[in-house]
Structure 1
Amino acid sequence: MTARPAPTAPPRKRRSRAERERQILAVAEQVFADEGYQAASMDDIAHRVGLSKPMLYEYFGSKDGLLMACLHRAKQELFDTTTTAAAGANGPEGLLHDCLLAFFRFSDDHAQAWALLRNEAAVPVSSVSSELESIRLQQIGFTAELLRGARPDLDEVRLEAYAESIIGACERLALWRERRPEVTARQATEHLMSLLLPSLGTGA
């Protein structure tokens, strides 16, 4: 009786460049968030991904370039989250509520991304600091547009002031929740709504 040939393993599917980049960014985001920018090692990231270190540099150029790519992804995810919430909201109060809730849920559901966004003091690279500020300005601009639709009576200076204040309050509350993990995203939203609504009402 002729022996059957031993079964061979199916060929490993080769990842596309886009898939590989997403994998690298997911791993790098976690490493940067867990260990901090200074302590994070490109050797460690390459090992976790299953690439050589030179190949990792081929994708992103440098450690700074890899961090910038992580920040770009976090920026887009945050923007997508809040714009989706805005699209499904009803009325000015519902709009504010749903966007605030989306922000706090983002900080819960994307803990590594949020850790990168909030930890700018630990990254002594001017280009990275500029990117972090651009993320903040993106959210401020988005918030100002929402306020413009809800409160057309407000002048530009007050719109900017309100938008800056709302984003600053969101960031501080998100940090506060790290010390108060029992506070849910919905509870944080209600706290901030209670503070903001008297000032944002049509009679302000």
Structure 2
Amino acid sequence: MPRAVREQQLLELAERLFIESGYGAFSIEDLCREAGVSRPIIYDHFGSRDGLYLACLRRVRAEFENTLINAARDAPDAEAAIRQGADAFFTIIERDPRRWSLVYGGLSELGGTLADQIYELRTDTIDRISAITTRFAPHADREAVTAHAHAVSGAGEQMGRWWLHNPDIPRERIVDHFCTFARMSFLQLPMAEPDLTAGSVPAS
């Protein structure tokens, strides 16, 4: 079996086992039995259990984020981008809540290098939200744009957790709640201070 095909097969199986067992109870031996391979093959592809877990997160996050970015890419204005992206985000939760929880549920027991690497995955998401924001607010203060992206990302994750515990709320209302917050945050973005030296004339 080609290496890339084997890798995807292992990731699909590992993802299911992480969802079913959780990170703490996940076993490389269980994955070996499911895939019909030996431990050295798993380690050759991913290096360790942590490496396998990160590979699963990267795979799912990339799929989710591409869905969100594509949903907002052709929006004519900021409000449409917020709503289209929000609708895509909460549709993902509605369609596959356990898979979403694998990526965004949070694992308080993780620490050290693994926690740092998971944080880096989240900063990639922040960068993508910042890029969309900058498209509609090109003169906004850069630091404020980054803070806005963190706030919007965090609000989406927390609202997703809340919704999973209150599934009787229609998705349309969840999207409305999120858009209200994100819109107000966007509208409050301060503009960058002008560079007063850019057009100055040298003294004679």
In the superposition, the TM-score normalised over structure 2's length comes to 0.81
Tell me if the contact between 2:71 and 2:84 (Cα under 8 Å) persists in the aligned partners.
Answer: yes
Partner of 2:158: 172
Partner of 1:145: 131
Q: How large is the Cα RMSD of the aligned pairs?
A: 2.3
Give the greater-gyration-radius structure (CA).
1
Residue 117 in 1 paired to residue 117 in 2?
no
Tell me if the contact between 1:25 and 1:69 (Cα under 8 Å) persists in the aligned partners.
Answer: yes
Deviations 1:57-112 (A, max 9, x none): 33222211211211221232123112211223232211111112222223344544
Q: Distance in 2 between matches of 1:40 and 1:163?
A: 33
Give how far 1:34 is off.
Answer: 1.9
Identity of aligned residues (%): 27
Matched residue type, 1:67: Y
Q: Distance in 2 between matches of 1:186 and 1:16?
A: 43
SS in 2 for 1:90: coil
Partner of 1:65: 51
Give how far 1:50 is off.
Answer: 2.2
Aligned residues: 190
Tell me if the contact between 1:43 and 1:53 (Cα under 8 Å) persists in the aligned partners.
Answer: yes
Q: Distance in 2 between matches of 1:203 and 1:158?
A: 6
In structure 2, the CA distance between the partners of 1:59 and 1:202, relative to structure 1 (3 Å rule), is closer
Tell me if the contact between 2:97 and 2:164 (Cα under 8 Å) persists in the aligned partners.
Answer: no
Equivalent residue in structure 1 for 2:120, among 111, 134, 137: 134
Q: Distance in 2 between matches of 1:184 and 1:23?
A: 35
In the superposition, the TM-score normalised over structure 1's length comes to 0.81
Matched residue type, 1:102: A
Residue 100 in 1 paired to residue 86 in 2?
yes
Residue 191 in 1 paired to residue 177 in 2?
yes
Give how far 1:184 is off.
Answer: 4.2
Partner of 1:50: 36
Structure 1, 148-157 or 21-30: larger mean CA deviation: 148-157
Give how far 1:40 is off.
Answer: 0.7
Give how far 1:123 is off.
Answer: 4.7
Residue 85 in 1 paired to residue 76 in 2?
no
Following TM superposition, the consecutive aligned residue runs of length 4 or more in structure 1 with deviations greater than 6 angstroms are: none
Residue 35 in 1 paired to residue 21 in 2?
yes
Question: Tell me, which stretches of 5 or more residues in structure 1 are unaligned?
Answer: 1-14
Q: Distance in 2 between matches of 1:186 and 1:23?
A: 35
Tell me if the contact between 2:105 and 2:161 (Cα under 8 Å) persists in the aligned partners.
Answer: no
Q: Distance in 2 between matches of 1:30 and 1:20?
A: 16
Tell me if the contact between 1:123 and 1:129 (Cα under 8 Å) persists in the aligned partners.
Answer: no
Matched residue type, 2:101: A
In structure 2, the CA distance between the partners of 1:155 and 1:64, relative to structure 1 (3 Å rule), is same
Equivalent residue in structure 1 for 2:146, among 160, 169, 174: 160
Give how far 1:167 is off.
Answer: 0.7
Give how far 1:199 is off.
Answer: 4.2
Structure 1, 97-106 or 109-118: larger mean CA deviation: 109-118
Q: Distance in 2 between matches of 1:69 and 1:108?
A: 24
